[in-house]
Structure 1
Amino acid sequence: MANFDSAWFVYGVLMLLLATSFVVRIDYVRIGLAAAALVALPLVFFREPDVGYGMLVLAILVVNIGILTRLWLRGTNVRFSAEEEELRRQHFARLSPVAARGLIDQGHWISARRGEVLIRENQAAPSLFYLAEGLAAIQRDGAEVGKLSDGALIGEATVLDGSYATGTVVLGSNARLWFVPAAALRAYLAANPDLAGALHEGFARALRGKLASANTRIAGRPPISEGPKASDASNM
């Protein structure tokens, strides 16, 4: 083909490969590889056709499309219970169904009694907790400084880096919890680094929610009394 300009296809393939290099999620990587192979097909078959190169590019395309199809089929078959779906909606919304299923399966669902301590001040958080139902209090130096209720994540600020918690978290009622041990969570993320970004975003959103709640609670308190004015004090 005399008018075939291969340069555009070369540029297209290289641009797709460059874009794929910045992708973290493995399913997006496979989409990028399949797209690059698809763009490369005309280059292989119309410019000095080479059966070996052509078969190799075609194999890359077929393999990646096959794996993407399998992942899609797995995603359509994933099921969540009502409480799992709520956990996913609130904190793991950016994860695919398959990724969310895998992460949730690393943890356990339990029922806990009022008064149980989940995290202790000046100690590393033993687990990441999700408070599906119930109430919890945050204490510092024995004084209550905050409250948590249905839907809250607990321990997200320190569970990944192992730093010490700045407060103690105690259940204020019987509760329903999902939890994943800190070591298991870190190991799972190390084996699945593409999940880390979405999980960190969920953690950041949970922290922003706690901060907004704390600001609202502080704003609703009466102002600190400045005491009687000097003129009033003289009359007391």
Structure 2
Amino acid sequence: MANFDSAWFVYGVLLLLLATSFVVRIDYVRMGLAAAALVALPLVLFRDPDVGYGLLVLAILVVNIGILTRLWLHGTNVRFSAEEEELRRQHFGRLGPLAARGLIDQGHWISAKRGEVLIRENQAAPSLFYLAEGLASVQRDGAEIARLSDGALIGEATVLGGAHATGTVVLGSNARLWFVPAAALRAYLAANPDLAGALHEGFARALRGKLASANTRIAERPLVSKATPASDASNM
């Protein structure tokens, strides 16, 4: 080991710690710390070994691997009902089992009747809704501008920012819904900021689906009718 140059390992550890500094999810931070400790082990073994330094590096490695293993085992024991799994698949696919479980548990599952109003025009969305089963109508100034069906998110465009909705959402049939109050959702994301990116991605995907559907409906209308801008249907 006479030609061993520990500088490369020092650089490797520093680069790993730098990369870890940019991640948001705490489990990724732990992975970075464990990897940095693993790279640092040759310094302990092959150059001027120091018992205290070696024990510290090993402690960092063992502690982080132990916590990651516990989180992984905990995640494998998380269970979802069929409707929860569908919600997760459609809108929270980037969230791990534990994160998805925590988010879904902030809300409630209900059965609602035809004609119930979920969101009112010119008012802030009271909750984020997921339409598991049923139909809903998006109306503006009393005219229908879009229809929503199984799997739709409702309120995702305005629930976090508190902006007023540009339309009213009314159930067109009896429905099965999951909903989380706006204040509870904002508080949960404030306490778990690492979830925000994945949640916003799900919201953006839902909005793109609404825009595509609204544009299709506009294209199918008679030319004599006045088309409603597709963006109005997405501000729910």
What TM-score bracket applies, with the shorter chain setting the length?
over 0.9
Q: Partner residue of 1:231? A: none
Equivalent position of 2:42 in the other structure: 42
| Secondary structure, aligned partner of 2:23 | coil
* 1:230 corresponding residue in structure 2: none
Measured against aligned partners, the alpha-carbon deviations of 1:100-146 in whole angstroms (never above 9, x if no partner) come to: 01100010000000111101111111100000000001111121111
SS of 1:48 mapped into structure 2 = coil
Q: Deviations over 1:61-101 (max 9, x none)?
A: 11110010011001110110000000000000000011101
1:117 aligned partner: 117
Give the aligned residue type for 1:179.
F
Identity among equivalent positions (%) equals 91
Aligned pairs for 1:132-143 (under 5 A) are 132-143=132-143
How far apart, CA to CA, are the structure 2 residues paired with 1:121 and 1:67?
47
- Tell whether 2:33 aligns with 1:29: no
**1:27: how far off?**
1.0
Q: Which residue of 1 aligns with 2:66?
A: 66
Correspondence for 1:145: 145
In the aligned structure 1, how far is the partner of 2:175 from the partner of 2:212? Answer: 23
SS in 1 for 2:83: helix
Larger radius of gyration: 1
**Whole-angstrom distance in 2 between the partners of 1:190 and 1:103:** 12
Q: Which ranges in structure 2 are unaligned for 5 or more consecutive residues?
A: 226-236
Structure 2 CA distance, aligned partners of 1:44 and 1:188?
Answer: 42
1:69 partner letter = T
- Find the counterpart in structure 2 of residue 228 from structure 1: none
- Structure 2 letter corresponding to 1:159: V
Query: Which residue in the other structure is 1:2 paired with?
Result: 2
CA apart distance, 1:45: 2.8
* Cα distance, 1:44 vs structure 2: 2.4
Residues 69-80 of structure 1 mapped to structure 2, 5 A cutoff: 69-80=69-80
1:50 is displaced (CA, Å) by 1.0
AA of the residue aligned to 1:46: F
Q: What are the Cα deviations for residues 202-233 of structure 1, in whole angstroms up to 9, with x where unaligned? A: 000000000000111111122228xxxxxxxx
TM-score scaled by length of structure 2: 0.93
Give the partner amino acid of 2:204: A
What is the 5 A alignment of 1:1-236? 1-224=1-224
Structure 1 segments, 4+ long, off by >4 Å, are none
Aligned-pair CA distance for 1:18: 1.2
What do the CA deviations read for 1:2-51 (whole angstroms, capped 9, x no partner)? 21111110111111111111111111111111000100111123221111
C-alpha separation in 2, matches of 1:72 and 1:173? 41
Separation in structure 1 between the aligned mates of residue 65 and residue 192 of structure 2, nearest angstrom? 21
Aligned to 1:232: none
- Give the TM-score of the pair, scaled to structure 1: 0.93
